Amino acid sequence: MKKSIFLSSVFLSLLLISCGQKHDAEKLISNFLDNNLVDNDIREKTFSDIDSTFYINDSIVNAMRTNARTNRLVKKEAQYGTEKVSGKLLFMSVKYRKNDGTMQKFTFYMDPELEEIVAFKQDAI
C-alpha cells in the first residue's frame, strides 16, 4: 500500500514538473517569435511536447543561426543564448498560421533551465 502511494506521488510530481516546463518553454518561444521574427503576423500557434537531446553541438547551432539570418526569418539583431553548447538541450516544435493563411513550423532548442533560445530551425510542413 505504501509503495503504491509513493509511486503515485512520484508520478504526479513528474507530471507537474513536466507541465511547468512545457508552459515555460511555450512562453520563451512565444517571446522569441514576437521579438525576433521578421514577419510575425501570427494568428494561432500549436506547440509539441518538450523533449531533450545531446546531439546538438556548436557547429550545428552556428549553422542553424546562419540559416535563419540567410533566409531572413529573424531580424539581424535577434538575441540568442550562449554559443558554446555542452551537454543537454531541450527542444520543442511550434506550428503556426500566419494571418494570410500560410503555415510555418520551427523547432527551437533551449538551455536546460529554459532561460534562453540557443537556436532554431525551420521544418517542412
Q: Does the residue 59 lie in any domain? A: yes
Q: 47-63 as b/e, with b when 16 or more CB fall inside 10 Å?
A: beebeeeeebeeeebee
Q: Where in the sequence is the domain holding 18, given as residue range(s)?
A: 10-122
Q: Does the residue 2 lie in any domain? A: no
Spans in the chain with pLDDT lower than 70:
1-19, 83
> Are the CB atoms for 114 and 92 separated by under 8 Å?
no
pTM: 0.82
Task: Give the total number of structural domains in the chain.
Answer: 1
User: Which cell numbers hold the place of 83?
Assistant: 554559443
Q: Does the residue 5 lie in any domain? A: no
Q: Does the residue 37 lie in any domain? A: yes
Q: Does the residue 83 lie in any domain? A: yes
Q: Does the residue 3 lie in any domain? A: no
User: Which cell numbers hold the place of 89?
Assistant: 538541450
What pLDDT is recorded for position 15? Answer: 43
What pLDDT is recorded for position 8? Answer: 54
Q: Does the residue 4 lie in any domain? A: no
